[in-house]
Structure 1
Amino acid sequence: MTHRSLDRLLRPQTIAVFGGREAARVIEQCQRMGFQGEIWPVHPTRIEVSGRRCFKSVSDLPAAPDAAFVGVNRISTIDIVRDLSAAGAGGAVCYASGFREAIAELADGADRQEELVSAAGAMPILGPNCYGFINGLDGALLWPDQHGMTKVERGVAILTQSSNIALNLTMQMRGLPIGYVVTSGNQAQTSLSDIACGLLADPRVTALGLHVEGFSDAVALQRLADLARRTKKPVVILKVGRSEQAQKAALSHTASLAGSDKVADAVLARLGLGRVETLPAMLETLKLLHLGGPLKSNAISSMSCSGGEASLMADAALVSQMDFRPLQEHQLPRLRAVLGEMVTLSNPLDYHTFVWGNLERQTQAFATMFSGNYALNLIVLDFPRADRCNGEDWMTTVEVVVAAASLTGARAGIVSSLPETMPETVALDLFEKGIVPFSGINEAISAADIAARIGASWHAPFPQSLLAISAIGESIETLTENAAKAELASAGLRVPKGCVARSAVEVIDCARTIGFPVVLKALGIAHKTEAGAVALNLGNETAVLQAAESMPASGGFLVEEMMPDAVAEIIIGATRDPVFGLCLTVGAGGILVELLQDSAVLPLPTTTAHIAAALSQLKIAKLIAGYRGRPKGDFRSLIEAVAQTAEYVAKNAAILEELDINPLMVLPEDQGVVIVDALIRRRR
């Protein structure tokens, strides 16, 4: 894959603008932000645009521009892009619509997009159908509209497929220093991952926020994650579409568990990319990452002068992995001495108002709290309205937080419970002082959670590259249960001793050979329990014959040994995600699959450590561990079975379409695990 350099396009010294009204707006925005480079308007009939001399064509320009904003119709856009590429320009923003996004209205939309990509050749283009970008570090804007950004020396970058969302984000009043806002449009040539890597290449960028409607390339996403980790610039992603499901195979339980969104969650976690739920959460997370990067652990502290606020903080952490770790022994006497006997010493801490407005005592209290080796120390503080109230004591508290952080070297943030009670002027001041200004309690906890997860991921070794093997073949065959089990047995997995019978009479001979009691199943039926196509614990010939005669069994029968009672039943499956390929799913199996929806996705390839961690997070893990005095399950054999399944899937990734082991019976300790039912669909 060719990765075009975006340096000249994103950080231009010379800008050419094509068109009328949109071109004038681009010039205006560059002038307002103080762009110091050359701007060259191009128009075939005009003498000047926005007071600047106009050139008639690309060939008339003084030199090949670093960047060009092409704000003309779609047909002319293709011609101009071709001329720019031939002249050696650094790149172009294609503003026009009417390409692949409009294929429902314009039959030639897809063809025009292919023509545009061909015209661009080696020159990078953004779009078509996009606003372009704002470079707030250099004051370079290929942006035909107003916006809310100001010039900064360093800051975060935000990248989105939506021009309107980009515009909205520039209007934030949360104090976040934004270095870039970039829109990608159709991504006809340059993908989101390519743009993201280009943004991370700027040493002034501290972190990246990505709003994405979907991923198109797992390899490119991995490249972005690797670059983020190498450059120590964390990436957070807001991916919309949690309700989407991957393509479902009607025969499989696994497909219902491993929707594309759940797979995306697992892949992002594997790659060390944070995932946020909302735009406000993305902005608040970027604030924290901008000031100091990921957190070293999930241990946090909180202080407020209200029990209600302390409760809100504690409740917000319940849906995260953040830990309000108890106070350490050395903190207790010092806090007691400063705060008095009436304060309950805990974390979160309600310090009441006994030291409110007292700079010396408040600093002692806060510094003591900050000395607990927490990854982040939070102070809940809602600022009063400046037009009606006196905020002097609140600013004293700000001084205290700054002093306590300086004394202890701890990371700190001030959290307003309401977004509007963190004024932009205060937020900007806090950033200058190295204190994170959080707008919203839930958003602050979410930001800390994501920063801690990224930190933990970066602390571990670099993950293995994702399994990137394309499927081959067209038609798909479904193996019989017996054939599927034979495949898995050859991979080292344990299956029951069994025998295939073609008639009700033959099942008796099979049962005698295996030995009673036996299990009888009708072949060729997907969900056997629901169809009455399975009978358990048949202890004699009569019972076997009666069961066979009552089953719908046009495909014959499978007779197997009856396995002992299991501690738990597990599902192991693999489905082919449209973007990320084959991923493994593990979870509560048997009849509990849809009932509990207790599952985890493991991107491939995986390790025994990742498998053990995923299994330990399942609700059913308590049952395997010996719930309320029940026997413990063979957890070690379960891990080994999942690892063997993962290896089988990886080896057969080119032809395997779907795998469904359900249930895998987890027997008591040291007795192993055994596959009771299995489905394999593969390409011919």
Structure 2
Amino acid sequence: MPPARSKYDPARGAVEGPRDLSRLLRPKSIAVVGGGAWCQQVVRQSLGMGFEGDIFRIHPRPDPVEGVAAVPSLSDLPYPPDAVFLGVNRHATLDAVAALSAMGAGGAVCFASGFSEAAAEDASGSGLQSDLIAAAGEMPILGPNCYGFVNALDGALLWPDQHGCAPVERGVAILTQSSNIAINLTMQQRGLPIAFAITCGNMAQTGQAEIALALLNDPRITAIGLHVEGFGDTFLWHALALKAHARGIPLVALKVGASEQARQATVSHTASLAGSDAGADALLRHLGIARVHDLPTFLETLMLLHCNGPLEAPTLSSISCSGGEASLVADTAEGHAVSFPPLTEAQRKALSSVLGPMVALSNPLDYNTYIWGNVDKMTRAWLPMAAAHIGLVLIVLDYPHTDARAWEGATQAAIAVRRESGRPVAVVTTLPELLQADVTAQLQVAGVTPLRGLREAIAAAAAAAQIGKPKAAPPLGVAPEGATEVISEAAAKARLQQHGVAVPRGAVTRRETLAEQATLLTAPLVLKAEGLAHKSEAGAVKLGLTQDALPRAAQGMAGDRFLVEEMVQGAVAELLVGVTRDAAHGYVLTLAAGGVLTELLQDRVSLLLPASAQDVMAALRSLRLYPVLEGYRGAAAAYIPAILQTIMAVQDYVIADAAYLHEIEINPLICTPDHAVAADALISRRIGPIEGETNDGPG
């Protein structure tokens, strides 16, 4: 069986036996161990934010910091503290964590470095990390190599450096492994209320998903942003996604990097199509988590989610008083998963009644400047753009920093459109700096989303429309690491055929019995040399042969074992169906235009397994090749049900062989008007039994 992972109830999204992080993240008492500048800053930060609980210092010298004197040791504290900042070296950190766990403290932030993140330079780092986990026991710890967190809701800051947060009553939470990125994000001046900024360090014990699960219990959190370097336990992420969806708290991820496992060389084209980034993308879609690719978009998406929540649809209306801006909006949206639906007849009629015959009506809309400053006319002109089928209305307004008083009417009109339509409305600046703080606050209070930067606003809208319900089933667990082997094509096809994949009639034979073994087959025939992963490149495939031509065709091929098959005819199109073991994310199914042009066409889509038939059909329809499968310009159509049945059969095999499977590739899957046949198949599997099991697998 695949390795065990976290256990939870999918119906409730509840993890079995999670650590209680409430005392650590929402403490009523704070202790700081150490006396350096970092530790002194923690005291100052919490006092400066108005923390109302007890603050203790533990240091041999009792000299007070901000009026807080120190006690010599943890044993001198009057009671076990809720949250502890450990600003001491890594060896002293181990002793302190053990003492805190024994006394019943709520949790600790481990600031010290030199653990597993430094193992390449210091071989003792990994061992120290194991010792740290053992010392903590059930007590939660953040880090090591971690700055800690800012809780701007309760004024609790286990944070040793500068930050840009201010007290808030509700807001978003941001989680990142990078302390420096966390600092920078807190310094944003976009008016985004940050309730929590949490750094996770190297996540020795407590990872991002577990921290985010704990934050979902706080009704003051409006959205959670995750800067992700690696996912870890995907079962736990699935539990997070389920619970977040149930609580109505949207998640957005900025996923960076690529796992080393997914970059390892593999024997098929599938690996190049479905590497770690495709796996990460597929996992996030499986979880219903929006993905963005840069920090400004990350912040703007959080702003949109905080003010409005996820969008009902990726349909946009754009309103501006400039034709240049209207064109710029349309061009900026190119390449993003959003659209500007044409105006309906009802919209046109309503717009004409206000704007008259001199204004060209379209979406994006240039409403002309002659109604500028007239709040009533602007409101009536903009309201039709906030139709029920529109996911978000973008009102393009750049506020000059010299004198913006003339823009107050536009602000009031935007607020009126939001109030009267009840639809999501955003005021968008083409340049990020052209929206002042007082206007931002005014818009937010009225329920209008302030968005800075046209590119970021469009990307944020696309992301907010991605957020959806997580798949009910968690990602499929993958086979453990180990040496792999490629089984023969005939054996691969036999395994897949047992699960419902159609394969050509054929026979495996030696060189001297080629013609004899092929007598029961119907020409034209295909001859393949066994034992090669890429037969076409090696000249080990011959097509369109008769029985008599087989011996001569085999003369130029290496080896003594051959696969002879009936040639599949009547192809409408060729597909690639591949599954790659991505250790960081799960089994990734890739569908692509197949045959020898797979890499050239670059027409592909990836899903995380398990996937439903509906998901697979949606993926197929997203391929540029799909119109050919449907019968392009009167040509014959492929039999789509057979294609779908084949893909689902491949998934059935993956589920059955998940303890050993490394990779599958069917290329091509020949799609005809009647059938879908795997003309070539490759399977790579782990060598050796697992814990006493045989390596026979599902076949």
Smaller-chain TM-score range? Answer: over 0.9
Tell me what 2:695 maps to: none
Distance 2:52 2:64 in 1: 20
Q: In structure 1, what residue type is equivalent to 2:529?
A: A
Verify the 8 A CA contact 2:261 2:582 in the aligned structure 1: no
Shift in Å, 1:467: 1.3
Q: In structure 2, what residue type is equivalent to 1:127?
A: G
Distance 2:404 2:575 in 1: 59
Q: Would you say 1:502 and 2:502 are equivalent positions?
A: no
Q: Would you say 1:109 and 2:133 are equivalent positions?
A: no
SS of 1:632's equivalent in the other structure is coil
TM-score (norm 2): 0.93
TM-score (norm 1): 0.95
SS of 2:191's equivalent in the other structure is coil
1:372-391 mapped onto 2 (5 Å cutoff): 372-385=388-401, 389-391=402-404
User: Which of 18, 29, 34 is 1:14 aligned to?
Assistant: 29
Structure 1, unpaired ranges of 5+: none
1:500-539 mapped onto 2 (5 Å cutoff): 500-503=508-511, 505-539=512-546
Tell me what 1:665 maps to: 670
Distance 1:449 1:561 in 2: 48
Tell me what 1:271 maps to: 287
Tell me what 1:681 maps to: 684
- 1:590-611 Cα shifts (integer Å, max 9, x gaps): 1121112222222111211111
Distance 2:565 2:417 in 1: 70
Distance 2:140 2:423 in 1: 43
Tell me what 1:551 maps to: 557
Tell me what 1:337 maps to: 353
Q: In structure 1, what residue type is equivalent to 2:315?
A: A
Q: In structure 2, what residue type is equivalent to 1:154?
A: R
Distance 2:544 2:515 in 1: 14
Verify the 8 A CA contact 2:21 2:214 in the aligned structure 1: yes
Verify the 8 A CA contact 1:271 1:463 in the aligned structure 2: no
Shift in Å, 1:100: 1.3
Structure 1 residues 462 and 216: alpha-carbon distance in aligned structure 2, compared to 1, 3 A threshold: closer
Structure 1 residues 462 and 245: alpha-carbon distance in aligned structure 2, compared to 1, 3 A threshold: closer
Shift in Å, 1:249: 4.4
Q: Would you say 1:400 and 2:413 are equivalent positions?
A: yes
Distance 1:13 1:430 in 2: 34
Shift in Å, 1:377: 0.9
1:358-507 mapped onto 2 (5 Å cutoff): 358-385=374-401, 389-454=402-467, 457-458=468-469, 462-471=471-480, 474-503=482-511, 505-507=512-514
- 1:29-81 Cα shifts (integer Å, max 9, x gaps): 11111111111111122242332121111111111111011111111111111
Q: In structure 2, what residue type is equivalent to 1:681?
A: S
Q: Would you say 1:651 and 2:664 are equivalent positions?
A: no
User: Which of 286, 295, 300 is 2:316 aligned to?
Assistant: 300
1:179-194 mapped onto 2 (5 Å cutoff): 179-194=195-210
Q: Would you say 1:640 and 2:645 are equivalent positions?
A: yes
Verify the 8 A CA contact 2:32 2:87 in the aligned structure 1: yes
Shift in Å, 1:424: 2.6
Tell me what 2:631 maps to: 626
Structure 1 residues 462 and 3: alpha-carbon distance in aligned structure 2, compared to 1, 3 A threshold: same
Distance 2:652 2:34 in 1: 57
Higher relative contact order (CA 8 A, sep 6+): 2
Structure 2, unpaired ranges of 5+: 1-5, 7-16, 689-699
Shift in Å, 1:430: 1.5
Shift in Å, 1:367: 2.1
Tell me what 2:584 maps to: 579
Q: In structure 1, what residue type is equivalent to 2:194?
A: I
Distance 1:233 1:615 in 2: 31
Shift in Å, 1:236: 0.3
Verify the 8 A CA contact 1:584 1:602 in the aligned structure 2: yes
Verify the 8 A CA contact 1:266 1:603 in the aligned structure 2: yes
1:255-266 mapped onto 2 (5 Å cutoff): 255-266=271-282
Q: In structure 2, what residue type is equivalent to 1:548?
A: A
Verify the 8 A CA contact 2:586 2:608 in the aligned structure 1: no
1:159-238 mapped onto 2 (5 Å cutoff): 159-238=175-254
Structure 1 residues 249 and 650: alpha-carbon distance in aligned structure 2, compared to 1, 3 A threshold: farther
Count, aligned residues? 671
Deviation larger for 571-580 or 301-310 = 571-580
Distance 1:6 1:448 in 2: 33
Q: In structure 1, what residue type is equivalent to 2:553?
A: A
User: Which of 101, 114, 137 is 1:98 aligned to?
Assistant: 114
- 1:600-649 Cα shifts (integer Å, max 9, x gaps): 22211121111111111111112111123321111111011101111111
Deviation larger for 277-286 or 559-568 = 559-568
Verify the 8 A CA contact 1:524 1:555 in the aligned structure 2: no
Shift in Å, 1:242: 5.9
Deviation larger for 417-426 or 159-168 = 417-426
Deviation larger for 597-606 or 287-296 = 597-606
Distance 1:540 1:58 in 2: 86
Q: In structure 2, what residue type is equivalent to 1:539?
A: T
Shift in Å, 1:251: 2.0
- 1:118-163 Cα shifts (integer Å, max 9, x gaps): 1111110101111100001111100011111100000000000000
Shift in Å, 1:368: 2.7
Distance 1:160 1:499 in 2: 56
SS of 1:318's equivalent in the other structure is coil
Deviation larger for 198-207 or 243-252 = 243-252
Verify the 8 A CA contact 1:16 1:68 in the aligned structure 2: yes
Distance 1:375 1:492 in 2: 42
Q: In structure 2, what residue type is equivalent to 1:496?
A: P
Shift in Å, 1:244: 7.1
Tell me what 2:298 maps to: 282
Distance 1:250 1:223 in 2: 31
SS of 1:419's equivalent in the other structure is coil
User: Which of 344, 364, 370 is 1:328 aligned to?
Assistant: 344
- 1:629-678 Cα shifts (integer Å, max 9, x gaps): 3211111110111011111111111111211111110012xx11111111
Distance 2:91 2:556 in 1: 69
Distance 1:516 1:334 in 2: 68
Q: In structure 2, what residue type is equivalent to 1:471?
A: P
Q: Would you say 1:72 and 2:88 are equivalent positions?
A: yes
Q: In structure 1, what residue type is equivalent to 2:445?
A: E
Verify the 8 A CA contact 1:248 1:256 in the aligned structure 2: no
Shift in Å, 1:337: 2.2
Structure 1 residues 261 and 298: alpha-carbon distance in aligned structure 2, compared to 1, 3 A threshold: same
Verify the 8 A CA contact 2:308 2:449 in the aligned structure 1: no
Distance 1:471 1:637 in 2: 32
SS of 2:206's equivalent in the other structure is coil
Tell me what 1:566 maps to: 571
Verify the 8 A CA contact 2:479 2:661 in the aligned structure 1: no
Q: In structure 1, what residue type is equivalent to 2:546?
A: G
SS of 1:48's equivalent in the other structure is coil
Verify the 8 A CA contact 1:471 1:653 in the aligned structure 2: no
